[in-house]
Amino acid sequence: MGLPVAGDGTGGSDPCTADGTTPIGSAGALSFTPEDTRPHEPSGSAVTRTYWDTRHRVHDHLASGGHIGLDRAGNEIFYALRLGALLPLIGDLADPTAPLFVLDAGCGKGHFARALARCGHRVDAFDTSEQAVAHARAEGGGPRYAVAALDAWRSPWPYDTVLCLDVLFHVLDDEEWSAALRNLASLVRITGRLIITDENAPARRLRGDYIVHRTATEYAAVLTPLGLRPTTFTPYGFRENEVGFHVFTRVR
C-alpha cells in the first residue's frame, strides 16, 4: 500500500468523526480580529471547524497536522524533510534589523511558523481551528497567531512570503478554493513569493471523498492574472508522496 498523502487522514483510524466519515480540511472560517488586522465577517463551515478542532485535540502536534497514518518518528522525518526543502525557497535574507515578513496560512499547531521564527523571520500565522491556535500560542516561539479563514485574513502590510502548506487540496469546492487562493495572492508584495503545496500531476486527481489535487495549470489560471508567475516546483521527496512546493513570484 502506498503512503497516504500528507495530512489526508488515511492510513489509520481517525476518531474525529462519530460516523467514520472525514470532512474536508481546514479551509473553514472562524471570525477573529487580531490586533494588527482589519475586521472581517465570519464564513465557512461549522462542521469543518469541529472536525479540525477535534483532530487537533485528539492527535499530538505532529500527527494532527501531518500524517495520522504515521507514527511519531515518521512524522518527525516528514516535517524535517519538508522544512529542509522549504527554507531555500524562502531564502536566507533574514536579518534582525530587516527580517522577512512571512505569513503561514493554515498553520495548524504552528510547527512551521515556530521554525521560521527561529530562523529570524517575522511570522504571522492563522488557522481555522481554535484548538490548534490555542496550542500554538501556548508554545510561544515568536509568531503572532489568530483564528481566521483562508479567504478572510486581512493584513495592513504585504508579506515577503505567504505559505499555505497541505491545506488547499483539502478544499473541495472550486469557488471556495479560488477565493482562498485570490486572497492569499493579494497578501504578497512585489517580488514576493506565494508558496503552496499540491501534486504536480497533468490531470486533477481525487483521493477519497475529501481531497482533490489540482493541476499547476489550474493554480496558474487563478494566479497569473493577479500578477504571480509560476517559478518552480520542488517535490517533498518523501517515500511515495507526490506533493511538493509550488512557488509563484509576484512580478506586478
**pLDDT, one tens digit for every residue, the chain (252 residues):** 333 333 333 333 333 333 333 333 333 332 333 333 333 333 445 656 676 777 777 887 787 877 777 888 999 999 999 999 999 999 876 677 788 999 999 999 999 999 999 999 999 999 998 889 999 999 999 999 999 999 999 999 999 999 999 999 988 889 999 999 999 999 999 999 999 999 999 999 998 877 899 999 999 999 999 999 999 999 999 998 999 999 999 999
Residue given cell 495520522 in the structure block: 68
Q: Are 67 and 78 in contact (CB under 8 A)?
A: yes
What is the pLDDT, as a whole number, of residue 150? Answer: 93
pLDDT at 47: 58
Q: Is the dihedral of CA 36, 41, 45, 49 positive or negative?
A: positive
Nearest to 118 by CA among 141, 97, 100, 146: 141
Can you give the length of the chain in residues?
A: 252
In degrees, rounded to 5, the angle at the alpha carbon of residue 106 between the alpha carbons of residues 33 and 201 is: 145
Q: Please report the pLDDT score of residue 48 as a whole number.
A: 62
For CA atoms 98, 99, 103, 109, the dihedral sign is negative
How far apart are the C-alpha atoms of 64 and 62, rounded to whole Å?
Answer: 6
pLDDT in the model for residue 95: 72
Q: What is the pTM of this model?
A: 0.80
